[in-house]
Amino acid sequence: MKQLKALILAAATLVMAQAYAATDVQAEKIRERIAPAGEVCVGAECGGLAVVAGEPRTGEEVYNTACTACHGVGILGAPKNGDTAAWDDRLAKGMDATLKNALSGINAMPPMGNCATCSDDEILNAIKYMSGR
Ligand code: HEC
């Protein structure tokens, strides 16, 4: 009887140890999943002009990194990428005025589309890309 109890206890301990091991692995997986995809650094802090230097990124590049989250599916009324009719409405007031709204933000559209590393030219490129101009 005593032996049986010890056996049951040992088995239970094993099962529990495995459960802990599993949660450790899961926790690690979760940490990997929620880890930031990249780090943004500007200027001397990251050893140079990393993000700011060089040619302006293309509209497609900027769109894919900074605009697609909202303009891909049209969140909160954002004109969708490639929806030329929606973009024609927006651009009826002129590219300059539209760009200005994108730079300073309008309603649910955050200033610069939240792209801290984008130049004005890169925002313009992204607008041209999304509107097919
Ligand atoms: C957090 C969501 C979000 C992100 C990210 C975002 N936008 Fe928008 N954007 C919106 C919404 C919502 C609107 C519609 C605003 C309105 O008119 O009510 C909008 C509208 C616009 C307009 C039209 C402005 C006008 O004058 O009608 C432009 C241009 C634009 N976005 C450019 C961009 C660019 C370029 C990026 C990426 C660099 C970007 N947006 C990223 C949500 C977003």
Half-sphere exposure of 121 (CA within 13 A, CB side): 6
Q: Where are the domains of the chain?
A: 2-35, 59-131
pLDDT computed for residue 105 by the predictor: 98
- pLDDT value at residue 48: 41
Among 105, 45, 109, smallest CA distance to 77 is for 109
pTM: 0.71
pLDDT: is 23 or 126 the higher one?
126
Judge whether 63 and 71 are in contact, CB under 8 Å: yes
Residue 14 has pLDDT above 80, yes or no: no
Q: Select from 80, 69, 81 the least CA-distant residue to 115.
A: 69
Calpha distance 45→109 (Å, rounded): 29
CA atoms within 13 Å, Cβ hemisphere of 83: 13
59-131 adopts what CATH topology? Cytochrome Bc1 Complex; Chain D, domain 2 (1.10.760)
| 69 close to 132: Cβ distance less than 8 angstroms | no
The reported pLDDT for the residue numbered 50 is 44
What was the pLDDT predicted at 54?
A: 75
Give me the percent of the chain exceeding a pLDDT of 70: 72
Mutate to test the pocket of ligand 1, among 71, 84, 120, 124 (most ligand atoms within 8 A of CB): 71
Tens digits of residue pLDDT in 66-111: 999 999 999 999 999 999 999 999 999 999 999 999 999 999 999 9
The dihedral region occupied by 76, where left means phi > 0, alpha psi between -120 and 50, and beta the remainder, is left
What is the position in ligand 1's atom list of the atom closest to the CA of 112?
A: 38
- Average pLDDT across the chain, whole number: 83
Q: At a CB cut-off of 8 Å and minimum separation 6, what does 32 contact?
A: none
**pLDDT single digits (tens) 42-63:** 554 544 444 556 789 999 999 9
Q: Is 66 close to ligand 1, i.e. is its CB under 6 Å away?
A: yes
